[in-house]
């Protein structure tokens, strides 16, 4: 069955969908409460199509996730932290790609509503191939969202039949203002007995934590090789081919590397913006 083939999230605190007016009122009432996820049950596919249109959205920057089978609509409420960390991270990737003079081969996007299998979702940011328009790298950000929810997002983007996504980057902002960045890729498992239709599973291949210490950011992380052997790292590396659909061909073309210095600058800028927001 198409869709989230490895894990179906458990829905809690569901609100019964009771028409557009009630829906819009609930979102507006929760805008400044600190609640970051609001979920509605009983939303038909036709109702979702209506609610997802630009002219009918009560909160333009809210992110949508819809399960066609369960008829559940999940709203990720707007948040300043989401917007800042998404913009800062995306800028680091885009700057390196533009410096390689390959801007005609990829399209940096914000949050296009994408239907895959039995679900529809809006990423926080993404990159698509110019030649096909297919999304190949997506970015998902979470704050109060649990790590399992971000994992579900990553696995959905990578494991759903028909997807063209090669990597999902998740950024978790929970806890003590620390930042956790994971890169997820598909990993084909080996089986003792060859069998058809064995799905590849999405796994974390890179993990970096940026800890907010009094003496400055502290970075700790690991990355795995093709044999899933882990080695320490203090950088994020994203394959060039994922963004443009071909191997590097010139001296200027290379993998995207967000090294320790860039990660420290990224974290410091995020924390600085957060501090200004809290003071204001």
Q: What is the pLDDT of residues 71-114, one digit of tens each?
A: 999 999 998 899 999 999 999 999 999 999 999 999 999 999 99
Instruction: Read off φ and ψ for residue 19, nearest 5 degrees.
Output: 95, 165
Domain ranges of the chain: 15-76, 80-279
Q: How far apart are CA 5 and CA 173, in angstroms?
A: 27
Tokens of 149: 């929810």
Q: What is the pLDDT of residue 143?
A: 80
Residue 216, H or E segment: strand 216-224
What confidence score (pLDDT) does residue 126 get?
98
Rounded to a whole number of angstroms, the distance between the first and last alpha carbons of the chain is 49
pLDDT of residue 177: 84
CATH 3.30.1370 fits 15-76, yes or no: yes
**Alpha helices, DSSP H, located in 45-122:** 45-52, 80-99
Please give the model's pTM, rounded to 2 decimal places.
Answer: 0.90
Distance CA 234, CA 210 (A): 9
Q: Enter the CATH code of domain 80-279.
A: 3.90.1570
């Amino acid at each position: 069955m198409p869709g989230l083939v490895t894990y179906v999230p458990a829905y809690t605190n569901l609100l019964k969908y009771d028409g557009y007016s009630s829906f819009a009122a609930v979102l507006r009432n929760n805008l400044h409460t600190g609640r970051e996820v609001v979920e509605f049950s009983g939303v038909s596919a036709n109702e979702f199509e209506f609610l997802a249109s630009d002219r009918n959205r009560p909160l333009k920057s809210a992110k949508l996730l819809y399960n066609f089978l369960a008829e559940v609509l999940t709203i990720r409420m707007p948040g300043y932290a989401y917007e800042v960390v998404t913009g800062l991270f995306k800028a680091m990737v885009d700057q390196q790609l533009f410096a390689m003079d390959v801007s005609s081969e990829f399209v940096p996007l914000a949050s296009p509503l994408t239907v895959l299998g039995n679900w529809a979702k809006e990423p926080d940011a993404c990159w698509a191939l110019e030649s096909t328009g297919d999304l190949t790298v997506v970015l998902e950000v979470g704050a109060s969202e649990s790590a399992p929810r971000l994992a579900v997002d990553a696995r959905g983007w990578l494991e759903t039949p028909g997807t063209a996504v090669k990597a999902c980057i998740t950024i978790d902002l929970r806890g003590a203002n620390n930042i956790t960045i994971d890169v997820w890729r598909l990993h084909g498992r080996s089986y003792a007995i060859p069998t058809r239709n064995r799905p590849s599973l999405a796994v974390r291949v890179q993990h970096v934590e940026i800890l907010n210490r009094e003496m400055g950011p502290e970075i700790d992380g690991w990355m795995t090789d093709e044999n899933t052997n882990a080695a320490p790292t203090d950088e994020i590396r994203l394959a060039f081919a994922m963004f443009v659909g071909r191997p590097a061909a010139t001296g200027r073309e290379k993998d995207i590397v967000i090294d320790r210095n860039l990660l420290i600058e990224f974290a410091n800028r995020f924390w600085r913006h957060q501090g200004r927001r809290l003071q204001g």
